[in-house]
Amino acid sequence: MVHLDHVSCVFGGVQALNDISLHVERGEFVFLTGPSGAGKTTLLRVLYGDIKPKTGSAAVAGVDLMRLRSSGLPALRRKVAVVFQDFKVLPERTVFENIAIALEVRGVPKASIDRRVRAVIRALDLEERSYALCRELSGGEQQRVAIARSMVVNPELILADEPTGNLDADLSRHLIELFKQFNTYGTTIIMATHNRDVLSWAPEARQVHLVRGQVTLPTAEVLSGAECGAGLLSKRGGA
Amino acid sequence: MSTGKLMARGVADMRRFPLPQLCTLITVCMVALLAATGLLILHNVQQEVLKTQAQARFQIYWSASSNMTDVEAQWADLKRVPGVAEMSTFTPRAAMAELMRGLSAATPAAPAKPVPTAKADSTANATAANANATANATAAPADPGPMLPASAPDDFAWLEGENILPPTALLSFDIPAGEAPEPWMGRMYARLRGLPGVERVTYNAAQLSLATGWIALIQQAAWPALGFFALVVALVVGNTLKLMMLARRDEVEILSLVGAKPWFIRAPLFANGVVQGFVGSVLALVCLKFLQAWLRSVLDVPPLFLKVEFLPAWQCFSLVFATTCVAGLAAFVAARK
């Protein structure tokens, strides 16, 4: 699903990614961990085509990122859904409209849009707020809308950049359960987080640790802080 | 989703950003009004020059000894010449009456008393009967006419009955479209000069040349002025719409993230710009109409008598079309990353 070989990326004059190699198979759940400024967000931006790597080779969902032109971006983003910490929902549109927009851009017929959006809204327990404007929702509800928008299109890969960063622990756990549920259906998930609790809620997930733009072995601190140490050790060689 | 639906969505979405939309609309309207006012001034200056000076005028003098019956027959024929806009004719008696009146009016300072107008009618011949009617009208109390010195008729009474003046006619022509003025006037001069009994023909070559020069200058200035206005409209409307798009940048970003193709993102914004441009320019024309009505009420009074006309339909259409296109294009370009 994701194949990065010796990828480097300079962003704002800083070597944001430095000779990274990462391979993620279809159906995997991967956490990107690391301190602030380690390059997690930059790596995700590379994966959804927002930044072009400077060197190396990179392919996501069969799309060669090194040769990706702006005209090919929509095709990539129809395979790769993104969830952000700050939700990125349209505050002046309803929950239904925010979710439906992802299907509308794909030209899905209206009847199908209605059916699929209602199903996702039900799954994310947003039925009562279907026609509320997003600016009227709580942070947790807005994040669920963002997740619903990414899931409704049944993407091959979901990239999540600190999706629980603005949520309390209960809600964060609930969202992780949602991601896990979609992962069991075969969707590949790569989630950036520096929240140890989040890591512990998905012990089966592989962890990729970034420091100063490079993939490294997790530090002892991370290992001891996470309840998922065994799982992590067993899979760390994948990065 | 079809382009039509995308456009409709763009228009419907305008209500989501009422304040930026309103500010943009006001800006578009004011800039379009500025351009339209410039056009209005150009148009009216040109119209005024055309109306007052762009006619070819020929003064024809027949021999003083000409038979008036023949001359009047020629006058009747001349009225039917294509392009004649106005014709004034003077029999020797009428010309004499006019001369006496003119000379009397030029005599300074004496206690004035009212006398009626003896000016030749522009469409009917100022024939002897006309002149007689003028003489008869002297006593008519209904129309006091202009104030003339009381002693004036007495001063030039000796001229009456002398018939020293020839029959004359003053013809104003609208030069046919596509004709160069000077060659056309030369041909018309030759034609008039060839009429039986005609002794002399004069025409306003210099005045027409001046008017033609003015019109050419205005027409030359019109295109740079139009270009300037178009540039101003394009820059202001374009930048204003770009600023307005900042209010929708999140939407553009999210659409891009979910895989929208460029046209899916741009079509609604293009529709938004088109509506802004259209409504703004139509509002500008409505404002211009009020401005024109006010200017007319202010300027169409003595001594100016300037009738400020509204823009012709093609200019109104061009203004709306250009503003709409520029606004649509600016919105389209603004949606680029």
Asked if the model's pLDDT at residue B218 lies above 60, the reply is yes
Q: What is the DSSP string of chain A?
A: -EEEEEEEEEETTEEEEEEEEEEE-TT-EEEEE--TTSSHHHHHHHHTTSS--SEEEEEETTEEGGG--GGGHHHHHTTEEEEETT----TTSBHHHHHHHHHHTTT--HHHHHHHHHHHHHHTT-GGGTTSBGGGS-HHHHHHHHHHHHHTT--SEEEEESTTTTS-HHHHHHHHHHHHHHHHTT-EEEEE---HHHHHH-TTSEEEEEETTEEEPPPHHHHHH-TTHHHHHHHGGG-
What pLDDT was estimated at residue B110? Answer: 47
B257 with A78: Cβ contact below 8 A = no
List CB contacts (< 8 A) between A75 and chain B: 259
Q: What is the pLDDT of residues B230-269, one digit of tens each?
A: 788 778 877 887 777 777 788 888 888 888 888 888 888 8
B16, closest residue in chain A (CA to CA) = A92
Asked if the model's pLDDT at residue B279 lies above 90, the reply is yes
The CATH number that domain A2-79+156-238 falls under is 3.40.50.300
List CB contacts (< 8 A) between B17 and chain A: 92
Q: What is the pLDDT of residues A38-94, one digit of tens each?
A: 888 889 999 998 888 888 889 998 888 888 888 888 888 888 999 888 888 888 889
Strands (E), chain B: 55-62, 84-90, 112-114, 147-149, 168-174, 198-203
What pLDDT was estimated at residue B39? Answer: 86
Q: What is the pLDDT of residues B18-73, one digit of tens each?
A: 888 888 899 889 989 988 998 888 888 877 776 666 677 888 999 888 888 888 89
B255 with A73: Cβ contact below 8 A = no
A94, closest residue in chain B (CA to CA) = B16
Domain map of chain B by residue range?
3-51+217-334, 55-174
Q: In a mutagenesis test of the B interface, which of A93, A98, A104 is the best target, namely the one with the most B β-carbons within 10 Å?
A: A104
Domain map of chain A by residue range?
2-79+156-238, 88-154
What's the whole-number average pLDDT of chain B?
76
List CB contacts (< 8 A) between B256 and chain A: 73, 77
Q: In a mutagenesis test of the A interface, which of B252, B257, B264 is the best target, namely the one with the most A β-carbons within 10 Å?
A: B257
Q: How far apart are CA B52 and CA B119, in angstroms?
A: 19
